[in-house]
Each structure stands twice: as structure tokens, then as C-alpha cells.
Structure 1
Amino acid sequence: PSDTDPQKITSLKLGYSYSDAEKYGFSISPELGNSFSLTYEHADKVLGGDYTFDKLLFDGRKFIPLPSLHHTLSLRLIAGHSSADISDGEKFKLGGNYSADNLSNTEVKNFSLRGYKPATLKGNNLILTSLEYRFPLANIEHSLKLGPLSIFLERLSGALFIDIGNAWESANASTNITTKEREINSIWQ
């Protein structure tokens, strides 16, 4: 089956999330602490779906305050594994730029690998790590009136980041992706 084929997935999910991350009045993101979630999913034809598979996903984050006010170092690790016979639509997809803010979203199958097109890598295994330096640029606190439309600008912030990751099939020893600009060869296992 492909991503466009209709699929009926019937599953049971069990998840646990924890966070002691602290965010303050003028913070641009959490500045101190840890957050993680662990999700297990079991889909089965016995439950009325078209597929039987198991999927496990870990998403962990650490926020480290830096000496300058509201400057933060953010570390993230995502690891996932699922049965080899999982449908295409349920595989982990890596590439593109997706929001990384929602720890409790257990429906996520698409993960950011900034600088690459969405779903550049796909498979039943996933590993992704990110390092991000977040910093405030200005507290604007100003509104603009454009006729009947009002826009409020609160803060301007920036981030420098590096993402490293891979998604692959258990049966394959390597994944090769060719784009117009570059070829990516990966042998992560």
C-alpha cells in the first residue's frame, strides 16, 4: 500500500509523558529542565483494522539555561522502532520543518530534518537528534493597526540549530537518497 491507499488502522496506544521544564515571563522557550514522552502502539487485524504491527517512540528533551538572560541550549533525541511489516502510511518520515513543541501528540509520524524536503527519509526505524541555541533579539510589545486588522508584535527571537537523523527499513543495510543538489549515503543501523 502507498500513502494514498485508504487504510484502516485499529490500534491501542499506551503513552507516558513527563515534564519539569520551566518557562518564565519573558522566556522564548522552556529554559530549564527535562521533558520526555514514551508511546507504545499495537495495531491488530483482530481489532478490525487492515494491519498488525507494534510501534515504540521515545521523544526526550533537555533545556539548559545559559548565562545571558533567556538564552537556552535545547537538546532533543527521538528514537522509534516499529514492526517491519508496517504500512507505508504508518512509517516514520523524516524531513521538512514541523513543530517540535507538542510532546503529547501521539499521532506524529513526520519529524523535522530542517533543510530537507518532507519525508525525504522513511522507514520503520527512526533516530533524530537536535541541538538548538535559542536567544531573544528584542521585546517589541507593540501593535499595528491596518484598517480593521490589528497585529500585535510581542517578541523577536532567533535560533541556531543542527539536526542529525535517519529513518530506515530494518531489512536494508543502507539508504541512498539522490536529489538534484546532493546524494545522501547512510549506513546507520
Structure 2
Amino acid sequence: MHKSTLRTCLTATLSLLAFGAFAQQMDSLSFIRSKRMSDDDLAKKREGTFVTGLPDLSSDPVTGFGVGVKTNIIWNGRRDNPLFAYTPYLMRLRANAAYFTTNARELTLSLDVPYYKGTRWRYRLDFKAQQNPANLYFGSSEATLGRLRLPSDPNATFATYAEFDAARKTLRPGGPGEAGEVTDALSNRFRETEFMLNLKADYALGKGRWRVMGGYEIQHLSYKTFQGTEADATRNGEATTAPNGTSLLQRDAQQGRIFGLDGGWVSILQTALIHDTRDFEPDPTRGVYFEAANEFSNPILGSQFSFNKLFFQGRAYQKLPVGKRTVLAGRLGAGTIFGKEAPFFEFQDQWSPDGSINALGGRQSLRGYRANRFLARSLAFTNVELRVRVADVKLGKQNFGLGVAPFADAGTVRDRWQDLGLRDVRFSYGAGARIAWNLSTMLYADYGLSKEDRLFYFGIGQNF
């Protein structure tokens, strides 16, 4: 046989064997075929291992202006890897550190390994250490849906946050246990110190659209209020300082309205059922995401608290035949907490395997209201965004997608989940800018408006 013929046969044989191995591997990965990225996004996805890091210049109306660093080490593998077109990455290590003008500080580490070695398992490990003295508290019942009220005088109400903030700083005579003359500038604030470790694993069922998840989290929490602390004040319109009066959180704890102000150890067992057909998790163009998530805490797990939190969330993404990349994105969520003495800090967020959501108010829910503006045992909310890609820019090996995102938010809270409905719904709206950096890293800037406030946020990550 001629050498060239032999070489051709050998090449063909090796190609067939390679194709057969590839086909066999893809057959074993059939459970994620529905999650294939669009051809346009796939062409921009970068091969190999790379680092995205940038100064963390963020702004939030509550925690203030923040500086720090946000980094991602992303392992994407080679383009010929069968997983390349179906996963956002093979593995991602995220390390963030930030310091804010309110003296808040945070360190987070997060490891995410989807479809570990081509199997149905996904593993996540998260660690957080943070201290935030700028947390807000306006109450813990559906009464927070009313107008803003002074902690020291519930009969004094205000239509806007600016009016409310000015009134809090006005000096008043001190009451029992207070100084002779006090301010309420810090009476709606408290400091939280948290150390948290979380381990999660989920398993893809059937064709991969459904997953079951289990996890364990342990936290240590401590709290401080600011009564007696020297704070800003005004006397006859002139700026001065004075001791802060009794905080609203402290008053509610003394009256038995809330529990958990002393902090302590929280041990939690987490479970979830997830349905996910998104094509690209960091910034989807199509698909749906649904979850039923539960957190159970009890002394039998070593916890100092007993409660059960249930949260349902649905998201949908639809690419529209307008422009380069126009996506209509929507989310609907509802949750409740069971347990007569559930700690107040568990009212402040809803746990989700895809990232917890602060409730209700702030960047993650109602962007025209301050974080925790509306707080009660049960809540429901919705968000809608129109994500329009305006241009794509390539600088060296870096790809940037520039876009805008007008949005609308709505939500409400109730003391009982049976009472959730369309009564007393609060609305906010606004617009934002988006920058997709190498597809996987999203930069955002949002301006939210409501009848009570005007708020600006910027940082990293899609809202949902």
C-alpha cells in the first residue's frame, strides 16, 4: 500500500475514533444539551484559564461608597471540550474584598464547580466575613408599608426619605434611660458582624433541567445598636452633635416584638428543588429558572434559634428580534418564615441557591426604596428588565458588551403568608447601564425611583 494511502487511512481511522469518543462523551452529557449557549455568545467565549480583576468601586445608598477589589479566576478549558458550549465555566474561584465609607467591610470567597468532571454533580463552597454598621431597620411587620415614622414619635409621618432623615436629626428632649437632649439620627440603624461558611451540592436529574440540592451553613452573628453614641443633630437649623436616643430595634426587642438581638450561632440545613434551562447563567438570553428553597434551623443542629424559611422564585428570559441582543427578563418571588420566635435578621433576606436576596427594598428587590424598608414575616415581589445590547467592543483579548436596561419593580409584605396579594403593593422604576466583560463578569449601574426616594447603585453582577 502506498505510504500516502496508508497515511490517509490512518488519519481517517483516528478521526473516526476521536469522533466516536466525542459522540460517546456527548451522549453521556445529553442532560445539559438544552443549556447550549447561542452561537454569538459562544464565539466570544474565551478559552483557557484567565483572571478578571478590577478595583471594586461601588455605591449603595445604605452602605455608602465602597472601594476594594473583585476578582474571578475562571477555568474555561479548551474549545474542543464537550462542556465548553454548555457551561459558563468549568470552575470559578471568586475573591472579593471591600471597604465602605460607612465603615462597613466585607471579605468573601466562593468556589463554584458546575457539572464536576462531566458528571451531574455541582459543588459550591462559600465563606464570608463582614461587618456593617449601616443596616437599616424600620420595623418587622406589615405596618412598615405605611409612611416613614420617627422612632420616638410614631404619629410623625413623612412622605419622602429626605424629610424623614432631616426630622430624625432634630434635637428632642430625652426620655427614660436617655440623655437630657438627644438625636434620632442613628435610631433606625444597627451594626451586624457575621462569619459564615456554606457548603452545597446539587445533582442534575433526567435531562438536566431539574436539580436537587442539599447544603449546610453555619454562622456566628452579633449585633449592636447606637443609643448613647454621639451623632449628627440640628438645633434651630444649625448643625451640631448629641447622644443618640434609644434605637427602634432595641425598643422592639425590649417590647418582645423581635427576637435575636443578642446574636449567636445559627446552624442551618438547606434543601432546594431547581428547574433551570438558562443558556448562560451570568447573562442569559433565553430559558427559565425556578426554585423552591428551604432553610431549617433548630437546636438539634447545634443552632441557638429555631425557624423554617420557605422561598419560591421564578425567572424567565426571552430574546427579542430587535437589535443585536435584546432580552426581556422577569422575576417573581415569594417567601415566608415559620417559627414563633424566628430571629429578626432572618426576615432581612430570602435564601436562594443562586444567591440570597435582600428584602424588601434596595438593589435586589425594590430599587427605588432603601434596603429593608419593608419588612415582615412574608413577602412577594417582582422585577422586569429590558436588557438591550448597544455595542460590542474588543480591546486586545478582552471582550466588552455595552448595554442599557430600563426596569420596573413591585413588592409587598404581610404578617401572614395567607394575606399576600395585590393590596398595598409598592412600586419603583428606573434605568441602568450594563457592561458584559468576557461574558462572565457583569458590571451594572442602576438609578431607581419611587414616590419616597431616588437611589443610585453601581457594582458587579446582574440583578437576576
Give TM-score, length-normalised by structure 1.
Answer: 0.70
Shift of 1:36: 1.5
Aligned residues: 158
Instruction: Name which of 333, 343, 346 aligns with 1:90.
Output: 346
Shift of 1:47: 2.3
Larger Rg: 2
Shift of 1:93: 4.5
Assess, with a 3 A threshold, how the Cα gap between structure 1 residues 61 and 162 changes in structure 2: closer, same or farther: same
**Cα distance between partner residues in 2 of 1:119 and 1:20:** 31
**Cα distance between partner residues in 2 of 1:48 and 1:137:** 52
Aligned counterpart, 1:182: 452
Matched, 1:8 2:265: yes
**Cα distance between partner residues in 2 of 1:32 and 1:158:** 18
Aligned counterpart, 2:278: 21
Q: Percent identity?
A: 24
Matched, 1:167 2:413: yes
Q: Retained in 2: the 8 A contact 1:92–1:110?
A: yes
Other structure's SS at 2:368 match = coil
Q: Which residues of structure 1 form unaligned runs of 5+?
A: 95-102, 144-151, 184-189
Matched, 1:117 2:370: yes
Structure 1 segments of 4+ aligned residues over 3 angstroms from their partners:
none
> Which stretch has the larger CA shift, 70-79 or 47-56?
47-56
**Cα distance between partner residues in 2 of 1:89 and 1:109:** 13
Assess, with a 3 A threshold, how the Cα gap between structure 1 residues 36 and 166 changes in structure 2: closer, same or farther: same
Assess, with a 3 A threshold, how the Cα gap between structure 1 residues 109 and 91 changes in structure 2: closer, same or farther: farther
Aligned counterpart, 1:147: none
Q: Retained in 2: the 8 A contact 1:30–1:63?
A: yes
Q: Which has the higher contact order (CA 8 A, sep 6+)?
A: 1
Other structure's SS at 2:264 match = coil
CA RMSD of aligned residues (A): 3.2
Assess, with a 3 A threshold, how the Cα gap between structure 1 residues 73 and 21 changes in structure 2: closer, same or farther: same
**Cα distance between partner residues in 1 of 2:319 and 2:354:** 26
Q: Higher helix share goes to which structure?
A: 2
Other structure's SS at 2:345 match = helix
**Cα distance between partner residues in 1 of 2:264 and 2:409:** 31
Give TM-score, length-normalised by structure 2.
Answer: 0.31
Paired amino acid for 1:119: N
Q: Retained in 2: the 8 A contact 1:92–1:122?
A: yes
Q: Which residues of structure 2 form unaligned runs of 5+?
A: 1-189, 193-222, 224-261, 427-450, 454-464
> Which stretch has the larger CA shift, 126-135 or 152-161?
152-161
Q: Retained in 1: the 8 A contact 2:369–2:452?
A: no
Aligned counterpart, 1:127: 380
